[in-house]
Structures are given as C-alpha cells and as structure tokens.
Structure 1
Amino acid sequence: MPDFETKFPYQHVLVLGLAKSGFAAASTLLAHGRNVRVSDLSASNQEELIQILEQKGAEVKLGPQEVELLDGMDVLIKNPGIRYENVIVQTAMERDIPVLTEVELAGLLHKGTLIGITGSNGKTTTTTLAYEMLKESQVSTYVAGNIGTAASEVANKTTEEDRLVLELSSFQLQGIDQFRPHISVMLNIFEAHLDYHHSLENYEQAKANIFRNQDKSDYLVYNAEDERLREIVNEAQATLVPFSGARKLDNGAWYDETHVYFKDEPVAAIKDILLVGGHQLENILAAVAAAKLAGATNEGIQHVLKTFSGVEHRLQYIKHINGRAFYNDSKATNILATSKALSSFDQPTILLAGGLDRGNTFETLVPSMEHVKALIVFGETAEKLRETAYMAGIELIEHAKDVKEAASIAYRISESGDVILLSPACASWDQYRTFEERGDMFVEAVHTLE
C-alpha cells in the first residue's frame, strides 16, 4: 500500500472551506506533521472546530478569501462544493498548485481494501447495502465519504484487514490524483450537476475518475444496461464486472424471477427482498457484486436483504393514513431518480415535486407519469413542472408554498388506495439547506395529518 509520507509530499497545505470534510482534512494533515492553513468565509456555528484546529497548530483565517492565501502553499484541499471558478481555485491552477479534495487523502491513508461507489442515483443505498453485507459476513468494514463521516477521518484509523466503503460524488472525484479503489462501482450516468460541471462530458469525466488509476488487478462493477456507462468503461484498465437486470451474466451480477445471482451462483431469493422498486434491484445487484468481491458470504447478504427497508429520504416508507401510503423520496434531486421512484408503484399516485431551477426542463419525466393522477408543485421549478403535467395529460395540478403545505393538499385531494410520493426531481437549495431538511419537513407534516 502507498506510504502517505511519500505519496503526499506537500508540506504546506491550504484547506479551503471548513465544513465536515475540511475539518477532517486539516486534522488529518496536522496529525501527519503538515503545516496547515484553513480558510472559511464565516465562523458561524464553527467556533469549537476552529478552536480545536488552532490548538493543534493550524492557522485559521476567516472572512473574505484573497489570493494571498495561496502564498507559500504547496497544495490546495478544497471543499467539494466550492466551484472551480472560485478565484482561489483558479489562481492555484494558474500557479500549478495541485487542487484536490479530501477523499484523495483517504485513498492514500487507507491500508486495506478500498471500495468506491458512484453514480447519478442510488449511491447511498448501494453503499449502505455493501457495507451491511460485509458487516453481516463478519468482515471488518467501515463506511464513509459522501454518506456521512468524512473519508480521511475513517481511513486514518483502518488496518490492512479492514474494508472501507466510500460513497463518492462527482464533486469529490473531480479533485483526485492518485486515488485508487480496489473495487469501484459505477451505477448509472444521467445528466446532473451541470451547473457545477457545465457539460455532460465534464460530469462523465469526473465520475470516470473513480477507475482512472485502477489496473487489471482491480475491479470495476458497472451497469451493463446503461449505454453511456458501457462507452465510458471502455477506457478502464480494471477487470470489468457487469450487473444487469435484463439478462444472465457469466461474469457479473443478475437476477431472474426467483433469485439474485453472482455469476452462476444463486445468492438470495427474490421473495425475501424487502426493498421495493425495480431500480432497487439494480442497487442490490451492484452491492452484491462489490460485497462478494470483497469477501461477503451469501448468508450475510441474505440477512441484509431480508431486513433492510431502505435509507432515510430515499423512497422511504412513512406510514398509511386512511388507505393512503406516504413515501419520502426527498433525495430524488434529478429526473432519473424521480422516474425510478414513480416506476416503483402501479397504484394511482399523487406526486409532490419541485425545487432549485438548474436550467433543465422536465419533458423526459412524462413517460414515467402514467400512474400520476395529480401533481403538487413548489419551489423555483413549479411552473416548469406544471407545463410537464399538461404534457402528461394530468389535469389536477396544485401549487404549494412548501412541502408541508404540499402534504396537506395531497391528503385532501387523495383517496384510499393512493400513493402520496414526495420525489422532487430537483435539488432543495432554493428553499432548504439540504434534501434531508426538506424530507424531514415532509415526514413531520405527514405525522400531523391524522
């Protein structure tokens, strides 16, 4: 495994953006004897973190960020959410100062088997499944990355015997250099985050970084039915391990009417799987392939599939009220995620959708709206979604100021047997700090309806 002191030769590091990943990066680098300067625009709610870093020897600068921050710096570790148009980032690149994200540190620090999972949709569910499958198989495993705990914080304490499962976003993957998972997973590619990456090609290239440093001794698990992915993985040097929900595979994961298989081996019975939705079977296939490659047992996998009911805010079942079934899919921040959520139900559905306007339209959602009887819109994209409803022949359209009001309207216009589904097809940042905040408001609203 790489030696961190050799592979990370930089002595003077600027960490741009405090947040969770910035704090983890700064703490990790200070522990490894680096000189660390941290810059953040505000100290709001972060006084304790600042005090800890300063006690450890960091130089913390708050307020407006000037290019002088880069003076004397060898490398820039930036928060994934900070865009590359940022003047500090642009100046660093002009000065040939490497610009990395915190997951680069995790890749250099982790001593055991590294599993990286990315895709436009399904990352969190697949990451959680793979982690739980390995854990239930009595394999020492950690989980981190975009899913919760910062990757470097966890990687810094792992051993050669440990597996580390990372959920990785395109924002994180764009900022890597030597990062190399032993097992990488690409679930799907769908037009997303174009406000950040500016083009689909740039987005695809950021995602493809997950396998850039792999060789034949490594594995790349990918969706064999995703046309874009099939083209992208042609560039890979890793051993390809496909998964498919449409056909039998001799070298990957697949399913039929009765079982989920890995290669020719039946791994788990379909009837025992608790998760709902065809797209969840794709996530399960990817997780099974990654977990089996990392040492999971069939018994461990079976236990997880019999008991795992989903991740919060990802097609999360809330409750039934007078025959109506409520689901929270606030994590559906793009059209593909909402399309897959809608495909999970045959019942009449009232869809709650809307949010940040990223400039896209929603025509491609129309084919998935066959069972949608009513649409409740909110946020910046409300009018665009209203037009989409007209295209789909949906006559009952209501406007809500937020998801709390949307839940109330949905209940009022619904009937017994309906599904009421929050699946926004948009990011939350026009009205909410996070998709979790949006989903929590919806869940709380549902619980007040009885």
Structure 2
Amino acid sequence: MKKITDYEHKKILVLGLAKSGIAAASLLHELGAFVTVNDQKPFEENTAAQSLLEKGIKVICGSHPPELLDEGFELIVKNPGIPYTNPLVSKAMEMNIPIITEIELAYRVSEADIIGITGSNGKTTTTTLIFNMLEEASKNPLIAGNIGTVASEVAMKATSENQMVVELSSFQLMGVDQFKPHIAIITNVYEAHLDYHQTKENYAEAKANITRNQTEDDFLIVNADQEELLELVSFSQAELIPFSTVRYLEKGVSIKEGKVFHFGEEVIGLRDILLPGKHNQENILAAIAAVKILGVGNDAIKRVLATFQGVEHRTQFVAEVNGRRFYNDSKATNILATKSALQAFDQPVVLLAGGLDRGNSFSELVPHMSGVKALILFGETADKLEEAGREAGIQSIYHVDNVEEAVPLSFNVSEPGDVVLLSPACASWDQYKTFEVRGNIFAQAVHKLKQSQ
C-alpha cells in the first residue's frame, strides 16, 4: 500500500456503512484522517458501527441529518447506493464539499495496476474470466469491487507484483476524481438504473468515467458493435482496443468462421468454449483483449475457456439430468437479461420465469421465445408472462407456487437434449430475499432431482 498523506489531519465523513463504508473508514483512519461515520441503521443494531467506535472513529447512527455538515468536513466518502438526491448529499453538493466513492481511495493507495470492468451486462463474468486467465498464467491477480472483497481493502494488501481486477458500477464511477485504471473495459451500455441516474445520458456518462483520466499509456477495451458506445468514449486518450461478435476486426478481438481472433491471430475455436451464448462471447472477447495486454498466452486462455461453467446465477450450468441440461440464470432480474439468456441456446428450452411485478408487460420477450417449448411460471408476474407466452405461440404453459416446484415439473415436460433454464425476467423480492437465494433453491432442487433419477 502506498503511504499517502493526502488525508492526514483532514475531517472526513464516511456516509453509509456496508462493506465499502467499513473499509473506507478503516483505511482513512489508518491514513491519519479525523473520520466520522454516519449510518442510517440505529447504533444498538449496528455491529459495524460499534466495531469502528472501538477503533476510536466517531460514529453517528439512526439517520442522515443534513446539519451534520456544519462540522466542517473537507471530504465525503459516500456509499454508492445512497443517491445524490439524499438531503445530506444535496446540501454537501451545494456547499461544494467533494464527494467520492471508496473506489477512489483504492486507486490512490494501490501499488498494483488496476483493470477496471464496467457495463450494463457482463461485468461479473468478464471480471471472473480475466481473473481466472491471469491466475492460470501465474500473473498474481487480485479480484475486488462488486465481486469479491471491497477494492480499498484489497488495495491495502496489493503490491506492484499484483494486478487488481475490479468490477465497477455506474454508482461507484460517479464518485471518482483521479481514478485511472491501466486497462478499462466497457462491455456494453443499455438503459438501466434510471431511478438513480434519471436519464440514460447520465448513466452512460457515469460509465464513461472509467476512461476519463486515462492517458496514452493506458488501454480502453470497448464493444465495437455499439456505435453509441464508441461515440461516448471518443474523448479518451487511451489506446482503443475494440471487440466485436458480428464483424471481423484485423486490429481488435473478434470472431470469424467459428474461431476467436486477436489482432489476426487465432486464439480458440468457439466449439472449445464451454460457456454458452452470444452475450458470453462478448465477455470472452473483452477478457481476451485484457489479458493479452499483460502477456497471457493462448494455452492459459484455452484452459480457462474449456472449463469455465459461468458465474453463479448468470447462465450457470448446474447439472445434466437424463439428457436435460439445467442452467441457473437467477440474476436475470429484467427482460433484457432473459432475452440474452434465451439467445444463448440453439436447443429447445423449458423456461422457468416470474417474480416481482414492476408494472411492465413482457411483450418484448415474445420475439425471443421461438425456441421455448414450455413455460413454467411463478410469482406475481405469472399471468403477464403467460400472456406473452400465448402471443409467442407456446402451447405448454404451467403455473407453480415457487421455483422448487418448477424443477421436477420441468423434467417431466422436457426431453433428452432440452435445456431447462431459470431466467425469471423479474426481481425476486415477491418470494425470495435475493436473486441468489432464488438461484440456490433452484440448484438444490436440480441436485435433488438428479439424485432421485
């Protein structure tokens, strides 16, 4: 860790705890700052706040009072989930108090180069692929950010021998100042998180912050199939490395005649890649572009791609049961993600879907349901999804109470060679605390089914 003096004797407010707030407060305290932590959860229920108090850090809990700013803070480190419309945050902006997120701290203290990955879809898979490929090639990677350990906590332990592979959200990237990854990746940009960003333009601009401070000595890897994305980052000073799944790029990473090429060199055949789907091809191309910069050879890349089954809950292969292949895509909490999952398979699909009703229809799914032979539906949106299924011409549609009931039924209505896909197109909160819980219940039911056959 770099021993910086930027924060020494400065009054700094850490707003919101969770993992990133705890790590930020601890790091700033170690760097000599006068830290105050403010968290909404009451102190008596807040074990994190209690542990920070024991370190000598000032703690204020129960609410986010705007008058707290009267104490004269020179900097705020904000939890990414707290919106800028929060009254305390709004007042801080009016007072011109700088507001950053914890990823900025990680950058400033890290001795390791950072590989930053952002985008609407594919961040976690791309991040994991890069980490696995670097690890396979003995490049000493560390994984951090939205996946794995909080970035500043990892940065405290990183040395110049490491590579920090960091998944980054638009929320985090809104709060950067000097942050500059050596390698930046934007997988794609679609309309998302409008409740936080208000407009797609604001959301896209936040994503573009990943390359804002890059220089000609850095690298920017982008999806060349999105013209608007190329325009968005046209200001970047970094060396641009494009990737494409639809056209061959002599200078970039792309696919031709069933093979992946990196700047004209064949890397791997698509048939040798275990991970299914065109959307995952984008993630694979982006990962190859990144690791090639760091000297990873084709053999290491091939070994990873021949065995990588997917990130948990993201089109993850669970098991094969009497010729049916079961996939867990519980992370598909919106229509766009389920579209991508359906496009991943050429085989007939039994689709398990449903969940929280956010008021939208599912007509956008209809053109992508041509390969769906049966629908098994649950949750608040079951009736709406049935309407979409009928419109798509699907004859076999069933309603069940939950995911656990859906699994044995899916086996009974499928045949060897079929895919059974949990891709709900909805959030889980009507029945399950998180999409992870929903996915785990699905996987457990699949393994129970396999044991019974």
Q: Give the TM-score taking structure 2 as reference length.
A: 0.91
Structure 1 residues 119-128 or 367-376, which shifts more? 367-376
User: Aligned partners of 1:283, 1:222: CA distance in 2, in Å?
Assistant: 11
| Residue in structure 2 matched with residue 441 of structure 1 by the alignment | 441
| Residue in structure 1 matched with residue 137 of structure 2 by the alignment | 137
User: Aligned partners of 2:3, 2:295: CA distance in 1, in Å?
Assistant: 25
Q: Residues 305-364 of structure 1, C-alpha deviation per residue, up to 9 Å, x if partnerless? A: 222221111111112334332110112233332112111212221212233445554333
| Residue in structure 2 matched with residue 422 of structure 1 by the alignment | 422
Q: Residues 211-250 of structure 1, C-alpha deviation per residue, up to 9 Å, x if partnerless? A: 1111222111011112331221223222110011122222
Q: Does structure 1 residue 24 correspond to structure 2 residue 57?
A: no
| Residue in structure 1 matched with residue 252 of structure 2 by the alignment | 252
Structure 1 residues 402-411 or 338-347, which shifts more? 402-411
The alignment partner of 1:71 has SS state of helix
| Residue in structure 2 matched with residue 185 of structure 1 by the alignment | 185
Deviation at 1:2, TM superposition (A): 8.7
| Residue in structure 1 matched with residue 294 of structure 2 by the alignment | 294
| Residue in structure 1 matched with residue 35 of structure 2 by the alignment | 36
1:173–1:206 CA contact under 8 A, matched in 2: yes
User: Aligned partners of 2:422, 2:12: CA distance in 1, in Å?
Assistant: 42
User: Aligned partners of 1:83, 1:347: CA distance in 2, in Å?
Assistant: 43
| Residue in structure 2 matched with residue 154 of structure 1 by the alignment | 154
1:164-175 aligned at under 5 Å gives the runs 164-175=164-175
1:129–1:287 CA contact under 8 A, matched in 2: yes
| Residue in structure 2 matched with residue 324 of structure 1 by the alignment | 324
User: Aligned partners of 1:219, 1:424: CA distance in 2, in Å?
Assistant: 36
RMSD: 2.4
Question: Cα 1:415–1:264, aligned 2, differ >3 Å: closer, same or farther?
Answer: closer
Structure 1 residues 381-390 or 34-43, which shifts more? 381-390
In structure 2, give the amino acid aligned to 1:52.
S
| Residue in structure 1 matched with residue 10 of structure 2 by the alignment | 11
Question: Cα 1:321–1:111, aligned 2, differ >3 Å: closer, same or farther?
Answer: same
| Residue in structure 1 matched with residue 351 of structure 2 by the alignment | 351
The alignment partner of 1:249 has SS state of coil
Structure 1 residues 407-416 or 93-102, which shifts more? 407-416
1:14–1:69 CA contact under 8 A, matched in 2: no
1:113–1:294 CA contact under 8 A, matched in 2: no
User: Aligned partners of 1:405, 1:345: CA distance in 2, in Å?
Assistant: 24
| Residue in structure 2 matched with residue 372 of structure 1 by the alignment | 372
Structure 1 residues 280-289 or 357-366, which shifts more? 357-366
In structure 2, give the amino acid aligned to 1:181.
P
In structure 1, give the amino acid aligned to 2:441.
M
2:43–2:50 CA contact under 8 A, matched in 1: no
Structure 1 residues 343-352 or 117-126, which shifts more? 343-352
In structure 2, give the amino acid aligned to 1:54.
L
1:257–1:270 CA contact under 8 A, matched in 2: no
Q: Does structure 1 residue 53 correspond to structure 2 residue 52?
A: yes
Q: Give the TM-score taking structure 1 as reference length.
A: 0.92
Question: Cα 1:104–1:359, aligned 2, differ >3 Å: closer, same or farther?
Answer: farther
| Residue in structure 1 matched with residue 275 of structure 2 by the alignment | 275
Question: Cα 1:299–1:321, aligned 2, differ >3 Å: closer, same or farther?
Answer: closer
Deviation at 1:408, TM superposition (A): 4.4
Runs ≥4 in structure 1, deviation > 6 angstroms? none
1:332-411 aligned at under 5 Å gives the runs 332-358=332-358, 360-411=360-411
1:134–1:295 CA contact under 8 A, matched in 2: no
User: Aligned partners of 2:348, 2:43: CA distance in 1, in Å?
Assistant: 45
2:363–2:388 CA contact under 8 A, matched in 1: yes
2:43–2:49 CA contact under 8 A, matched in 1: no
Deviation at 1:209, TM superposition (A): 1.2
Deviation at 1:145, TM superposition (A): 0.3
In structure 2, give the amino acid aligned to 1:127.
T
Identity between Structure 1 and Structure 2 (%): 55
| Residue in structure 1 matched with residue 91 of structure 2 by the alignment | 91
2:184–2:220 CA contact under 8 A, matched in 1: yes
Question: Cα 1:160–1:320, aligned 2, differ >3 Å: closer, same or farther?
Answer: closer
In structure 2, give the amino acid aligned to 1:33.
G
User: Aligned partners of 2:295, 2:235: CA distance in 1, in Å?
Assistant: 27
Structure 2: gaps of 5 or more residues: none
Deviation at 1:155, TM superposition (A): 0.9
| Residue in structure 2 matched with residue 308 of structure 1 by the alignment | 308
1:225–1:246 CA contact under 8 A, matched in 2: yes
Question: Cα 1:323–1:274, aligned 2, differ >3 Å: closer, same or farther?
Answer: closer
Structure 1 residues 70-79 or 379-388, which shifts more? 379-388
1:3–1:108 CA contact under 8 A, matched in 2: no
Q: Residues 371-392 of structure 1, C-alpha deviation per residue, up to 9 Å, x if partnerless? A: 1123233344444433332332
User: Aligned partners of 1:255, 1:2: CA distance in 2, in Å?
Assistant: 41
The alignment partner of 1:447 has SS state of helix
* Count of equivalent residues: 449
User: Aligned partners of 1:51, 1:424: CA distance in 2, in Å?
Assistant: 39
Structure 1: gaps of 5 or more residues: none
In structure 1, give the amino acid aligned to 2:60.
K
2:252–2:263 CA contact under 8 A, matched in 1: yes
